[in-house]
């Protein structure tokens, strides 16, 4: 007979489908948990999103460091060895599931879990995580919803070395000892695999590394550092209420990183990406003179004369200390546009004149 429990956690319900044996596990940082899981939508069809059994091998996570869909540690800590349980989790616990699932799927496919952060328009990952690369996960990103997790706990082992790759090493159920183990420094984590403290600690380091790379004119590498720092902060922001103190403090850290990223993209000639992300930034911070300045330079680079002039004039209005720079840019813009118009007249001169017989 199934038994239903309310765990001492808001927004979680548990139903035991098959009882386990022994005591409840005592999880600590470094404990290794081996289990199967199935993720379902809370809809009439109970649509399956992920199922570890399809890979034929159980999943393993390392408590505290390696895998940060935090509610899973809570769920697993309520189970005994051999137990099968169904957990209903409200949206407050499932908002990051699409990103976590993306990483797990790519690992199962033998792909780099960071692959989605390497496409040209990488800043999409920072703001709305525009695409995970999987249609069903994109839907979860757009419309966070309660999820059902069905878990079967096999075993919990004590302190172990750091697992390789993602924090979710895959070992055959009959030979778990074959799991590769590496030192923490060898672990290349996606941002969801960091704790809050690790993300906050990583941001100034990444910012500093990006600045150092800019001084060396290694703009692509610098942009990647700024990008990684923003992703850390955006992940933390997802757990805050928009425009409240915690969210705003993180936003104040995000803004200069985004501007630095855009400056790198200007240097690399990625003007349309600069237009996209400065515009998105200005939708939230419509008096940021530096964002207008970078957008104006991008507009000028792609011959949007009217838009460039409007943005440059807006900069001068917002920040008088930038007036000299604006004057210089407007002069250069005028010279470039005059030269372009002259070249166009020469190019098309006589194009539509009738042929002489």
pLDDT digits (tens, 9 = 90+) for 263-292: 999 999 999 999 999 999 999 999 999 999
| Domain carrying residue 50 | 4-113+134-159
Question: What pLDDT sits at residue 188?
Answer: 40
Question: What pLDDT sits at residue 127?
Answer: 44
The verdict on 229 and 282 lying in the same domain is yes
Asked whether 239 and 227 are in contact (CB, 8 A), the reply is: no
The verdict on 152 and 282 lying in the same domain is no
How many domains does the chain divide into?
2
pLDDT band at 169 (very low <50, low <70, confident <90, very high): very low
- For the domain that residue 292 is a member of, what is the CATH number? 1.25.40.10
- Residue, of 27 and 209, whose pLDDT is higher: 209
The verdict on 149 and 244 lying in the same domain is no
The verdict on 11 and 80 lying in the same domain is yes
In a domain, 311, yes or no: yes
- For the domain that residue 23 is a member of, what is the CATH number? 3.10.50.40
In a domain, 207, yes or no: yes
- Residue, of 183 and 252, whose pLDDT is higher: 252
In angstroms, the CA 355 to CA 348 distance is 15
The verdict on 145 and 246 lying in the same domain is no
pLDDT band at 125 (very low <50, low <70, confident <90, very high): very low
Question: What pLDDT sits at residue 357?
Answer: 55
**pLDDT for 18 beyond 70:** yes
In a domain, 29, yes or no: yes
In a domain, 348, yes or no: no
The verdict on 44 and 99 lying in the same domain is yes
Question: What pLDDT sits at residue 146?
Answer: 94
- Residue, of 248 and 357, whose pLDDT is higher: 248
Question: What pLDDT sits at residue 111?
Answer: 58
In angstroms, the CA 319 to CA 312 distance is 11
The verdict on 155 and 276 lying in the same domain is no
The verdict on 141 and 218 lying in the same domain is no
Tens digits of residue pLDDT in 174-198: 333 333 323 333 234 455 556 778 7
Whose tokens are 């420094």? That residue is 185
The verdict on 215 and 101 lying in the same domain is no
pLDDT band at 238 (very low <50, low <70, confident <90, very high): confident
Of 96-105, 171-180, 206-215, 250-259, the poorest mean pLDDT is in 171-180
pLDDT band at 315 (very low <50, low <70, confident <90, very high): very high
The verdict on 154 and 209 lying in the same domain is no
In a domain, 217, yes or no: yes
In angstroms, the CA 98 to CA 226 distance is 23
Question: What pLDDT sits at residue 285?
Answer: 92
In a domain, 69, yes or no: yes
**pLDDT for 67 beyond 80:** no
User: Which residues are within 8 A (CB) of 292 and not within 5 positions of it... i.e. 6 or more apart?
Assistant: 278, 282, 311, 312, 314, 315, 318
pLDDT band at 33 (very low <50, low <70, confident <90, very high): confident
**pLDDT for 214 beyond 50:** yes
In a domain, 173, yes or no: no
Which is it for the CA torsion 314, 317, 320, 324, positive or negative?
A: positive
The verdict on 143 and 285 lying in the same domain is no
Of 8-12, 105-109, 206-210, the poorest mean pLDDT is in 105-109
Query: To the nearest whole number, what is the mean pLDDT of the chain?
Result: 79
The verdict on 210 and 266 lying in the same domain is yes
Of 72-86, 89-103, 107-121, 291-305, the poorest mean pLDDT is in 107-121
In angstroms, the CA 144 to CA 72 distance is 17
In a domain, 14, yes or no: yes
Which is it for the CA torsion 144, 146, 152, 155, positive or negative?
A: positive
In angstroms, the CA 294 to CA 264 distance is 11
274: its two tokens: 């600069």
**pLDDT for 6 beyond 80:** no
DSSP-assigned letters across all residues of 325-355: HHHHHHHHHHHHHHHHHHHHHHHHTTTTSPP
**pLDDT for 68 beyond 60:** no
Question: What pLDDT sits at residue 192?
Answer: 52
């Amino acid at each position: 007979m199934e038994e239903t429990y309310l765990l001492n956690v808001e927004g979680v319900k548990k139903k035991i489908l098959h009882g386990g044996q022994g005591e409840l596990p005592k999880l600590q940082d470094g404990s290794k948990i081996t289990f199967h899981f199935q993720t379902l939508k809370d809809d009439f069809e109970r649509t399956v999103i992920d199922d570890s059994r399809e890979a034929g091998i159980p999943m393993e996570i390392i408590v505290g460091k390696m895998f940060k869909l935090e509610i899973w540690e809570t769920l697993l800590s309520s189970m005994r060895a051999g137990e099968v349980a169904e957990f209903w989790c409200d949206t407050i616990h499932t908002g990051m599931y699409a990103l976590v699932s993306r990483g797990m799927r790519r690992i199962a496919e033998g792909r780099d879990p960071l692959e989605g952060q390497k496409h040209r328009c990488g800043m999409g990952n920072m703001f709305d995580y525009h695409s995970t690369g999987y249609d069903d996960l994109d839907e979860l990103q757009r419309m966070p919803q309660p999820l059902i997790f069905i878990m079967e706990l096999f075993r919990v082992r004590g302190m172990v070395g750091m697992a390789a790759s993602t924090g979710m090493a895959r070992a055959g159920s009959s030979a778990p000892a074959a799991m590769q183990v590496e030192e923490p420094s060898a672990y290349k984590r996606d941002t969801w695999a960091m704790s809050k403290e690790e993300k906050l600690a990583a941001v100034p380091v990444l910012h500093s590394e990006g600045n150092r790379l800019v001084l060396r004119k290694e703009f692509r590498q610098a942009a990647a550092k700024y990008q990684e720092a923003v992703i850390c902060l955006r992940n933390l922001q997802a757990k805050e209420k928009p425009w409240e103190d915690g969210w705003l403090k993180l936003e104040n850290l995000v803004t200069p990183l985004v501007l630095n990223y855009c400056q790198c993209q200007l240097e690399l000639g990625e003007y349309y990406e600069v237009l996209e992300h400065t515009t998105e930034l200005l939708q939230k911070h419509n008096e940021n003179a530096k964002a207008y300045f970078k957008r104006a330079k991008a507009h000028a680079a792609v011959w949007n004369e009217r838009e460039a002039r409007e943005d440059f004039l807006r900069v001068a209005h917002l920040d008088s200390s930038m007036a000299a720079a604006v004057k210089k840019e407007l002069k250069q813009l005028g010279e470039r546009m005059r030269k372009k118009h002259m070249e166009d007249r020469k190019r098309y001169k006589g194009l539509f004149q009738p042929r002489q017989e």
